[in-house]
């Protein structure tokens, strides 16, 4: 078992993504890692059933990353084995006119998971700091005040029963180049290629600085950020899976006792 605490950002701890490794293996071979992933996937399936049976808590998972950082493939690989009926995945694209006419938490709040359900945000309200900040889409005073709003919002979610786990999938600028090149090289990936992703590379350092600040200021004891080295995909999946399983295991859930005596029921 790997120690996910290595990737957890302790509250109040300084974060400089520039200095954090984007590749790791936790001392495991790929074969050992894949084996761990299989057994964690099975455990996640059981835990998800318990979460749903109890309907006392829900779990919100946030993925943020640079373009081609692996938000889609992590979602697919971590959650393919779970029950899709109790899973809600939401991708947040560029906000539309209606969304922009509301506060920045309005559109995400509508998609937080109800009790019993695991919700996944592919991008999230953190875009409204990072992307907005880098591209100066709003006055800086406005987006800077959002760190506090996010902390209050996530505190409310946790207080009301929605656990929150946030993962920054960390890759290097060179690795991103490889992944974008792959979209050019493979006919079945052309549709994923966007010139905007290439243009954004110009602002790489600014993005990284703002992500560093957001992660530093918004990693709390109850709503933590993990910085996941993501250039080995199996290891990335393993860190995410292990963190989720640890969080759900800590609830020590059992199937609820029925409010009737099952032996007394006769089905006609």
Contacts of 165 (CB under 8 A, 6+ apart): 59, 60, 61, 62, 223, 224, 226, 243, 244, 247
Q: Which of 233, 241, 224, 223 is nearest to 48 (CA)?
A: 241
Residue 263 binds its own copies, judged by CB under 8 A: yes
- Judged by CB under 8 A, does residue 258 bind its own copies? yes
Q: Which stretch binds its own copies (CB under 8 A): 73-81, 94-102, 105-113, 158-166?
A: 73-81
Element (H, E) at 87: strand 87-91
Cβ proximity to its own copies: between 106 and 193 the closer is 193
Q: Does residue 122 touch its own copies according to CB under 8 A? A: yes
Contact 68, 197 (CB under 8 A): yes
Q: Provide the b/e sequence for 131-156 (b: ≥16 CB within 10 Å).
A: bbbbeeeeeeeebeebbeebeebbee
H or E element at residue 185: helix 173-185
Residue of the chain from 8, 28, 87, 158 that contacts its own copies (CB under 8 A): 87
First to last CA, the chain: 49
Q: Which of 23, 28, 81, 251 binds its own copies (CB under 8 A)?
A: 81
**What residues contact residue 49 under an 8 Å CB cut-off, 6+ apart?**
83, 86
Which DSSP symbol is given to 168? E
The answer to whether residue 109 forms part of the interface with its own copies (CB under 8 A) is: no
Closer to its own copies by Cβ: residue 13 or 186: 186
Q: Kindly tell me which of 97 and 263 has the beta carbon lying closer to its own copies.
A: 263
257 binds its own copies (CB under 8 A): yes
110 lies in the site for its own copies, by CB under 8 A: no
Backbone angles phi, psi at 123, to 5 degrees: 70, 165
Positions in 48-67 near its own copies (CB under 8 A): 49, 53
Any contact of residue 121 with its own copies (CB under 8 A)?
no
252 binding its own copies? (CB under 8 A): no
Q: Is 84 in the site for its own copies (CB under 8 A)?
A: yes
Q: How buried is 192 (Cβ within 10 angstroms: 0-12 exposed, 13-18 middle, 19+ buried)? A: middle
- Residues 167-206, one symbol each (x = binds its own copies by CB under 8 A, - = not), give ----------x--xx--xx-xx-xxxx-x--x--xx----
Binding mask 6-25 for its own copies (x = CB under 8 A): --------------------
Among 14, 27, 31, 85, binds its own copies (CB under 8 A): 85
Q: With H, G, I as helix, E, B as strand and everything else as coil, classify residue 90.
A: strand
Smaller CB separation from its own copies, 75 or 220: 75
* Residues in touch with its own copies (CB under 8 A): 49, 53, 72, 75-76, 79-85, 87, 89, 91, 120, 122, 177, 180-181, 184-185, 187-188, 190-193, 195, 198, 201-202, 255-258, 260, 262-263, 265, 267-268
């Amino acid at each position: 078992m790997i120690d996910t605490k290595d990737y957890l950002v302790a509250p109040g701890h300084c974060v400089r993504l520039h200095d954090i490794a984007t590749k790791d293996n936790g001392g495991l071979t790929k074969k050992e890692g894949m084996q761990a992933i299989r057994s964690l996937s099975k455990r996640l399936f059981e835990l998800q059933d318990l979460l749903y049976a109890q309907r006392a808590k829900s779990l919100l998972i946030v993925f943020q990353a640079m373009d081609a950082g692996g938000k889609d493939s992590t979602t697919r690989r971590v959650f393919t084995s779970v029950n899709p009926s109790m899973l809600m995945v939401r991708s947040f694209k560029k906000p539309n006119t209606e969304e922009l006419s509301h506060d920045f938490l309005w559109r995400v709040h509508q998609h937080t998971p109800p009790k019993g359900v695991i919700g996944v945000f592919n991008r999230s309200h953190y875009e409204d700091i990072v992307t907005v900040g880098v591209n100066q889409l709003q006055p800086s005073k406005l987006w800077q005040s959002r760190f506090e709003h996010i902390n209050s919002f996530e505190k409310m979610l946790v207080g009301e029963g929605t656990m929150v786990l946030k993962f920054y999938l960390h890759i290097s600028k060179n690795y991103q180049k490889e992944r974008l090149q792959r979209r050019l090289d493979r006919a079945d990936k052309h549709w994923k290629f966007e010139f905007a992703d290439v243009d954004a590379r110009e602002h790489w350092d600014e993005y990284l600085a703002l992500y560093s600040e957001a992660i530093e200021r918004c990693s709390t004891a109850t709503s933590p950020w993990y910085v996941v080295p993501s250039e080995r995909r199996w290891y990335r999946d393993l860190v995410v899976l292990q963190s989720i399983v640890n969080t759900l295991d800590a609830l020590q859930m059992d199937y609820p006792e029925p409010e009737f005596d099952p032996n007394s029921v006769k089905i006609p």
